[in-house]
Amino acid sequence: MPMLANDIEALIRETFPDAKITINDLAGDGNHFSAEVVEESFRNLNRVQQQRAVYASLKGKMDGAHGELHALQLTTKAPD
Amino acid sequence: MMVNVTSSGTQRPLRRNSQTDEIPTMSAEEQIKDTVTTNDVVLFMKGTKAMPQCGFSNHVVGVLTTIGVEFQDVDVLADPEIRQGIKNYSDWPTIPQLYVKGEFVGGCDIISEMTMSGELDALLDKSGVSYSKEAAKKIRDANG
């Protein structure tokens, strides 16, 4: 079943309650999203570490052929 | 050392020995480690550099090719063990995955951001990988 933008935001929000999270459904098919996560605790992490943390918050939704989420275009940063 | 992938696009499954066509005794993880440490730049992707099978993989191939980086492509669709193994290796859930000097650099989004910010140039400089600074600048000028 396709995921909704709200579901993705809720999952990320569980791990990062204070982050600024912006989700866009890129193709309108519930399968290709972009997510921007602006989070203070990212400040001392490199991009790989930041995005690993976001992927971890999605709890396996990205995993392989059975993942509900095929493509998530991810942008992560600390607040300016 | 296993040299059983080619850059011509006629790639065999990574874990198959091209001479004997037998599956070697190395585990998927050992094969991955061997590949990323014996090649300066490796892209684990869906499809080959000549025929990418996914838009994200295609995008990274486009960046590397445009700036003239020589790289080894590994088609994860050719071997399910490599496809899962590379995700475990980097603790990263998606393909493509770019490695420079054995270090995981990132996937499509990170490579795009690093290209635009100049961080990719800095990484390649630091790693002694040759590329065209001019072409990298052209990408920035065209997308900036």
Q: What is the DSSP annotation of A18-68?
A: T-EEEEEESSSSSSEEEEEEE-GGGTTS-HHHHHHHHHHHTTTTT-TTT-S
Residue bearing the bigger pLDDT, A18 or A66: A18
**What would the pLDDT profile of A25-48 be if each residue is shown by its tens digit?**
888 777 788 999 999 999 999 999
Q: Which two tokens stand for residue B125?
A: 């400089």
CA angle B59, B63, B65 (to 5 degrees): 110
Q: Do A75 and B106 touch (CB under 8 A)?
A: no
How many of the other CB atoms lie within 10 Å of CB of B11? 21
- For residues B16 and B142, which has the higher predicted lDDT (pLDDT)? B142
On whether any CB of chain B is under 8 Å from the CB of A45, the answer is no
Q: By three-state DSSP, how is residue B5 classified?
A: coil
Q: Which two tokens stand for residue B68?
A: 């003239």
Residue B51 has pLDDT above 70, yes or no: yes
- Closest-CA residue of chain B to A76: B110
Query: Residue B107's closest chain A neighbor by CA?
Result: A48
Fold of the CATH domain B28-143: Glutaredoxin (3.40.30)
* Sheet with strand A32-38: strands edge to edge: A20-25, A32-38, A71-77
Does B141 score more than 90 pLDDT?
yes
pLDDT at B9 over 90: no
Q: Across-strand partners of A23? A: A35
Q: If you average pLDDT over every residue of chain B, what do you get?
A: 88
Above pLDDT 70, what percent of chain B? Answer: 83
Q: Is the pLDDT of residue B21 over 90?
A: no
How confident is the model over B103-123, as pLDDT tens digits? 999 999 999 999 999 999 999
Best of B109, B117, B123 to disrupt the A interface (most A CBs within 10 Å) is B109
Give the CATH number of the domain where residue A37 resides.
Answer: 3.30.300.90
> Three-state SS for B54?
coil
- Which residue among A48, A55, A67 sits closest to B110, beta carbon to beta carbon? A48
Number of domains in chain A: 1
Span B73-114, pLDDT tens digits: 999 999 999 999 999 999 998 999 999 999 999 999 999 999
Structural domain including A46 reads: 5-77
- Pick the closest to residue B96 from B20, B30, B38, B42 (CA basis): B42
Q: Which of residues 4-43 of A touch B (CB under 8 A)?
A: none
